[in-house]
A and B are shown apart, each in its own frame.
Chain A
Amino acid sequence: MAKLPIAIPQLVESFGPHLHQTPPGGWTSAEEPDRVVKTHCCFCGQQCGIQLKVKNERIVGFDPWEEFSFNSGKLCPKGVKRYLQGDHPDRLLAPLERAPGKGFRPIDWNTALDRTAAAINRIQAVHGNDAFAVLSGASLTNEKAYLMGKFARVALRTANIDYNGRLCMVSAAAASKKILGYDRAANPWSDIRKSKCILVAGANIAECAPITTDYLWSAREAGAKIIVLDPRMTPIARTVDLYIPVRSGGDIGIFNGMLHVMIERGWIDRAFIDAHTTGFDEVERVVRRYTPEYAAKIAGVPASMIVRAAELWGPAESSFLLHSRGIEHHTKGVDNCMAAINLVVATGRIGREGSGYAMITGQGNGQGAREQGQKCDQLPGHRDIENPAHREHMARVWGVSEATIPHKGLSALEIFEAAHAGTIKGMLLMSFNPMVSLPDQGFIREALEKLEHFAVIDFFLSETARFADVVFPGSLMEEDEGTTTNVEGRVIRHRKVVHPPGEAREDWRIICDLARRVGPKDKFEFDSPRAIFEELRAASRGGASDYYGITWEKIDERQGVFWPCPDLDHPGTPRLYEGGKFAHPDGKAHFQPVEWRPAAEEPDAEYPLTLTSGRVVAHYLSGNQTRRIGALVKQTPEPYCEMHPRLAEKLEVEDGDFVAIESRRGTTTLRAMIVKTIRPDHVFVPYHWPLQRAVNNCTIRAIDPVSKIPEFKICAVRVKRASRPTDENVQLGPEAGGLR
């Protein structure tokens, strides 16, 4: 039974998060390193090049890697301090099993693997294959992501595998595929610098994709106009040409309203639309209603801003759309993205230098990890799990019969709902921390507690791993090798810098060890990540994300290779859709008409405010890694509730006062941060913290019908002044979920 073995403060005492402040060997240790290894940062989809310094087989510091052209040495604070996760006192050094009343006790590898294998066999024998679920992550290398998919479908034969990219990229992916054909940024980042008009929709670039800032600013120096849509005035928004403080969930008003004005003023490319697209008539019919005045009501901004946006974007010589979670984390996330992409296709400004489109991936391998077959509805190479030809192909690669490959399974949040309902009985989880990251935390905890067996692979005992029956100590990115695919669709290589500490093992070895115990033995005889990559190449061959022509040598020679790369002498494809050739079978872009609809829960008399959530630059996702790095915790120790002075005045709240944020699902009590840079009808809380300090206690368990992404960006709350909380965890360090 997946229950906490002891109280949280005791677990924190043994497993952290504790702060790692100084490098191993002290501050002078990096002066004469034994070696310096060129690799990449693990903390976001930009995948900046970085060099790590090694002394006595421990990582002691970093040096910029200026020759790597994507970031030319630039790094955000997470990249600078990432080396401190190595040699961390909280690292898991041996497999653990839950010891109720005592915590966790170390066990040997065979015992641990046998226990989980036996639980899988038992659960599947009694309740069917699908009763055991696999949850994976988008911070994993392509090789590990591929292996997780194969493990679920070939070893466990469960339909229920999904990943935390479900909280991240899926709305963008679905929209891009529907209109353009591929699920990938359409252009390399170098095109941003050459664009004359850039629309940034729901992307806090300064904090979530910091390296992209220089790309934006250099476009601006060359004369680009920049438009930003965000309910908060982000650091980027402050100095741009047009900042539109759209209300959360009102984006379609802006996009459809802009298109309305553009059609009226002749700022669309009819010749391009006729030659290269389908479905524009229907879009035109829909947006006819979206006059600036009508659209402004939806967007919650003055109509003049929508007109101004159309004036900047419509007649521009070249243009670039960038969007991310701000428009994607909605029950209409796919629609939001489609309405934005319609603006790109209607001008024909795509597939050219300086003109195009990109979704900004969030997680380290947000792009690649969704291509290799660990999504509940996809097989490797972006293949469709319900397409008979695609299934046949994978059956051949895996050497299994097509009939044994499971069909479409449940998405991440649905897997927890099934666990809550009792139809899923067991779970293996890696690279995912739902006890911070999923909405409606109270429900997620109940779901976990109902599992008969819960196994976790992680390098730290995350808030979720505390519920595990068995914990397998895995590896950091720098303790293994493999490839990732960056925000641009460029496949790059992470190098092994040091070995995993103690008895910890590379994740792929753990998966193979488990697979050999529960599935066909001969299918998991990999001896290295490279061997997995070779199979991945063949598996992706002929698929949309074709890696067949990519080798590790080629990656090294060319500073990465952009997929699709169908054969060995192919140079890769940095820019998609050149010459107006789209990736649908008819070669055309397929416009999608979009009507605005309300969020699952809009503010009302009882809960009158909109709660929105997001990231800060010092932390990565659920914080399992960054809340253990002293310098990053110092930069942003704890979450807070941003509110406008007008709202604060009404609530009689002063800066630094505690406020209780209450929704129909739960509460979190935090300090208020009073800022003019947010809409007065919204409050904002960053989401990297657990327990009573998790904004996801309040967020809503509602998902987009197509992408299944949760609606993190809007739900209804009320906020009131509170006294300092007195719960059992409040005395912990803020990195653990306490308050200073």
Chain B
Amino acid sequence: MSELAFFIDYSRCIGCRSCVQACEECDTHRGTSMIHLETIERRNTVQTAPQMCMHCEDPICARVCPADAIKQTPDGVTQSSLKPRCIGCENCVMSCPFGVPKYEASIDQMMKCDYCYDRTSTGKKPMCATVCPSQALTFATREEVERTRRGRAINEWKFGDEIVRTKVFVLVPLATERIDVGLTALRTKKNGPEARVPSDDVAALLENEVLP
């Protein structure tokens, strides 16, 4: 059996924030959530998108860190900043293509998702993927995901000229090989592939109704 991996399927997310609430309950950083839930634009849609660290194969956040505070484990997990080293310069915050690291002013330190290393390194699933009611976040083998999900799992991203490979997979429609835009597209939704904004307008569905 192949290794368990992390998969995100944005189309499943129901915006319940269980991932955020549960992340906050993890022993290594209890009281602070390291996953974020982006509300796309509530006026237009109920769509939401969870944002966790994608665990890049070659993490830019670590590369740009002047204090060498961000370490990658041998199994490819990019950890949160190390307490005595992090100088709070926010280089990582600026450089991450997915907008993941957050600077925590109260502790003058960068915090980000560490793949629930205390759990995943002992064979347990990460907290968010365990609780996620919609399984938009799921921790499973690739075979299992391919057997039970419709889309394709990809982990290659193109930002301008740069190709970024991540440990975390995202489920996309079958035809997609690689995602050419950052998650900013998902977040702003202006030029998202599905352009769902009009269909989220209930009034547009009610052709001949007499409405206010």
Contact = CB atoms under 8 A, between A and B. Distances in A.
Contacts of A80: 18, 21-22, 25, 131
Interface in B174-211: 196, 200-203, 205-209, 211
Contact of A210 (B16, B148, B207): B16
A234 interface: yes
Given A80-B18, A673-B42, A676-B44, A233 B206 contact: no
20 contacts: A28-B30, A73-B131, A79-B18, A80-B25, A206-B15, A207-B16, A210-B14, A213-B14, A214-B135, A222-B148, A232-B202, A233-B202, A302-B208, A618-B17, A635-B21, A650-B212, A675-B43, A676-B201, A679-B202, A680-B212
B202 A239 contact: no
Q: Which 8 A-B pairs have the closest CB atoms?
A: A206-B14, A210-B133, A235-B14, A27-B30, A676-B201, A213-B134, A27-B31, A77-B21
B72 interface: no
A81 B21 contact: yes
Contacts of A66: 125, 130
Nearest to B207: A302
Interface string A36-65: 000000000000000000000000011010
Interface residues of A, number: 62
Contacts of A245: 202, 205-206
Interface string A8-40: 000000000000001000011011000000000
Contact of A74 (B133, B201, B208): B133
A236 B12 CA distance: 9
Contacts of A234: 46
A214 B134 contact: yes
Contacts of B209: 300-302, 681
Given A77-B16, A680-B212, 4 more contacts: A635-B17, A646-B203, A677-B200, A678-B202
Interface in A336-395: none
B132 interface: yes
A647 interface: yes
B37 to A, nearest CB: 10
A76 B206 contact: no
Contact of B43 (A22, A75, A631, A645): A645
B8 to A, nearest CB: 14
A196 B34 CA distance: 37
A31 B20 CA distance: 19
Contacts of B205: 243, 245, 301-302, 305
Nearest to B208: A302
Contact of B42 (A62, A207, A609, A675): A675
B172 to A, nearest CB: 14
B147 to A, nearest CB: 10
Q: Which of A81, A300, A646, A675 has the most CB of B within 10 A?
A: A675
B197 to A, nearest CB: 8
A312 interface: no
B149 interface: yes
Contacts of B75: none
A221 B17 contact: no
A68 interface: no
A665 interface: no
A270 to B, nearest CB: 34
B11 interface: yes
Nearest to B134: A213
B27 interface: yes
A239 B11 contact: yes
Interface in B44-95: 44-48
Contacts of A239: 11
B46 A235 contact: yes
Nearest to B29: A27
Contacts of A645: 43
Interface string A189-227: 000000000000000001100110110011001100000
B133 A233 contact: no
B212 A74 contact: no
B46 to A, nearest CB: 5
